[in-house]
Structure 1
Amino acid sequence: MTPTQKKSICWALPALLLSISLSASETAIQAAVDHPSRTPANTLRDQYRNPVSTLAFFEVQPDSTVVEISPGAGWYTEILAPLLHERGTLYAAHFPANSSSEYAQRTLASFQQKMAAHPIYSKVELTEFAASAGVQVAPDGSADVVLTFRNLHNWYMQGGDDAMRIAFNHFYRALKPGGVLGVVEHRLPEAQLDSDWTRSGYFPQSLAIELAEQAGFVFEASSDINANPKDTADHPRGVWTLPPSLRLGEQDRDRYLAIGESDRMTLKFRKPQQ
């Protein structure tokens, strides 16, 4: 073997190993997506939410320490819990237990019941998140990945730029140096920035990147995994006009079902190595 051939093999090996690693990761994520504990109604959303490609893009591995921010009813928790059950750690940062919101209390109680209903959730560590001071979503510097799905608009409606900065600061503290922040959110077209968008459920990608960078994150990549070019983001009841909410009921139902779920940005940020 010539020196040139040896050099070529040395260069090719890391790429081959990375390919094998990604393939193994996606296989593990697919097994979690197919786990029998998942709610059948939730699996119908897979075609819009693309969990295998999304979690692989965010570099989630079976041995990762992951923080899921504001998991709601647990759509992604149903996938993350079996994925991380054996070798990883999952923190579910839900509403604070002392929240004065009736909705928050009801949603948290329902999530706790879900976590108690199946052994696959026995290792999920319940923590708290609010876009305010004094909460800790996970021990500082402990997480490989922090994930948030379709939540930015909620924090912005409650507290504007300041709430968003506080939220991103929470995520930054929880991550290890080199850790990933993964964001999926309903995307507002930049051409609609001069409209009354703040309560539409959509959020500008440019503002999401700007506020994350202000917290110290480096914007690394975006993906069209969850893009939907059929969504014009200008519906009568905002994003909730579309499935799964369908706030208009039977009015134009077939039209909105044909559009499907919202157009979503999928953004990957990284906490710099220190």
Structure 2
Amino acid sequence: MIYFVGAGAGAPDLITVRGARLLGEADVIVYAGSLVNPALLDYKKRGCAVYDSARMTLEEVIAVMAPAARAGQTVVRLHTGDPCVYGAHREQMDALDRLGLDYEVCPGVSSFCGAAAALRAEYTLPNVSQTVILTRMEGRTPVPESERIEALAAHGATMVVFLSAGQLEKLSQRLLAGGYAPDTPAAIVYKATWPDERIVHTTVAGLAEAGARAGITKTALITVGGFLGEEYDRSRLYDPSFATGFREASR
């Protein structure tokens, strides 16, 4: 069996219990060495073969996993965060489907969750935002025209921008063009949950200057929105005047 395992946001103890168990059972591990904390490899058993996919093509990854699976070995493909967000695991699953090989996916804690934890923030505050947009600037991978930053910024929702720390000037300009006010709170979260985690609080207009001052150009998420501010409404769920199926209203 081949298992696609989410490594979590960074800290080795943020992998799921199932993910840690699968790492411990694996005969072969292929991990994203440029992004996954190498401390996670401490879960592996003696004799496990380890491959760093940062130096491999898709074809080379499949060429490692397929023979091992056919030989009855347990294979773990270890992805950063959760594989479903910028994990490029769909193409791997399609390749395995064509080869008639079975696989399962073990979810992980995405870095956008790790960033919220680092910020001690809640993305979905009542009367501030009830929507979280996960997106990225275009680079070598294009972005559909309808999903350009300006179009998404027009919603005024909470936004978490991946893979864009090296384009903060352009990102700032596009967020402003889309409708965010210059003083909209923003934060750059570098390597959330890692030992060298760093947080830079700024505004949409100040993103480029803040990133340059901190020397952050990669491995960071940019979070944007009023959720980083001070104003929000109390949750109705825990309001004494609000009845639920488990509690009567007290007034």
Q: TM-score, normalised by structure 1?
A: 0.34
Say which structure, 1 or 2, has more relative contact order (CA 8 Å, 6+ apart): 2
- Name which one, 1 or 2, has greater alpha-carbon Rg: 2
More helix by share: 1
